[in-house]
Amino acid sequence: MEMIEVSHFRKMFGKKVIHDDVNFDVKKGECLGLLGGSGAGKSVILRSLIGLERPDSGKIQIDGTDVTQLDESDLIEIRKRVAYVFQNGALFDSMTVYDNIAYPLCEHTNLSKHEIRDRVLSTLQMFNLQGAESLLPAELSGGMQKRVGLARAIIMKPDVILYDEPTAGLDPANTVKIQNLIVQLKSTGVTSILVTHDLDTAIRVCDRLAFLEDGHVENLGAVADLKKDPVQILQLFVRGQGD
């Protein structure tokens, strides 16, 4: 069963063609690692999946619905189910960490203040952020901002999570924590796409890898198979460094 299906996706900014003809899909419960150099258009693909960006042509189906045909108010239902973890956190800088993480719950659920509090605090714990709830985003380190962004994205228990470089700029201990978290979420049946430069993370958490280059996505096959072929891993590593 395909959860995400992208076909003949084409996107230009002005006259610049970013994606020429992108095709890929992700099965339910699968984690696809999307690699590619800086500026290849990885973020634009993830943004398009939840309708933040409109493709010039092509189809993007999420659980059978073509999101390119939906208008802004219809997209709300998709966005409740598909979480996007922004590359830079994109926290609301006028709100505290607590309010940032509670935001989706306040907007989309009828939970009581008390239930919201419990859920936010346990999520903070999961991300090693205890004690930070009353801080403003400006008072956090880059790595902490990233984790708050991640916490805000997953608190609604989405079916699909799109991670945009979730481990970039984190220290090794927190990187491992995030890797474990992604694996754990996957084990609960979450479908995900992981955009990353970090081949090590990709190999540890993803089921399958794909490479975005020159406006096309090339399927690299299952991670389990790649692991048997160190030469290809090395080549990938070199390719990922390009640009």
Partner 1 sequence: MTAKTEKFLDFVGGNTVLTGQMLRDLFRRPLYLDLLIVQIQSVGVRSLPLVLVVAMSVGMVMALQFGIGLQKFGAKLYIPKLVSISFIRELGPIFASLMFAARVGAGITSEIASMVVTQQIDAIRALGTSPIKKIVIPRVLACVICLPILTAFANAIGIFGGLVVGSLDLRLDAGFYWQKVFSTVVLADYLSGIGKTFFFALFIAIPACYYGLNVERGTQGVGVATTRAVVSSSIMILVGDYFLTKVFWIIQSWR
Point out which residues bind ligand ATP (CB under 6 A). 13, 18, 36, 38-44, 87
166 interface partner picked from partner 1, ligand ATP, Mg ion, none, CB below 5 to 8 A per type: none
Tell me the longest C-alpha to C-alpha distance in the chain: 54
Q: How far is the CB of 195 from Mg ion (least distance, A)?
A: 7
Which residue's beta carbon is nearest to the bound ligand ATP?
43
Q: Of 56 and 93, which CB lies nearer to partner 1 in the complex structure?
A: 93
Mask: binding to Mg ion, 11-50, rule CB under 5 A, as x and -? --------------------------------x-------
DSSP letter for 129, please: -
Q: How far is the CB of 219 from partner 1 (least distance, A)?
A: 27
Residue 59: count of CB within 10 angstroms of its CB = 15
- Closer Cβ to partner 1, 4 or 226, answer by number: 4
The smaller minimum CB distance to ligand ATP, of residues 155 and 199, is found at 199
Between the CA of residue 85 and those of 164, 167, 221, what are the distances in Å? 6, 11, 24
Q: Give whichever of 133 and 164 is closer to ligand ATP, judged by the CB atom.
A: 164
Which CB sits closer to Mg ion, 46 or 102?
Answer: 46
Q: Nearest distance from residue 50's CB to Mg ion, in Å?
A: 15
CA distance 53 to 234: 34
Least Å from the CB of residue 47 to ligand ATP: 8
In the complex, minimum distance from the CB of residue 242 to ligand ATP, in angstroms, rounded to a whole number = 12
**Which residues are at the interface with partner 1 (CB under 8 A)?**
47, 50-52, 72-73, 75-77, 79-80, 83-84, 86, 88, 90-93, 103-104, 107-108, 152
Question: Cα dihedral angle (46, 47, 49, 50), rounded to 10 degrees?
Answer: 130
Contact 16, 40 (CB under 8 A): no
Cα separations in angstroms, 39 against 66, 129, 214, 227, 240: 26, 31, 10, 27, 12
Separation between Cα atoms, residue 185 and residue 156, nearest integer Å: 13
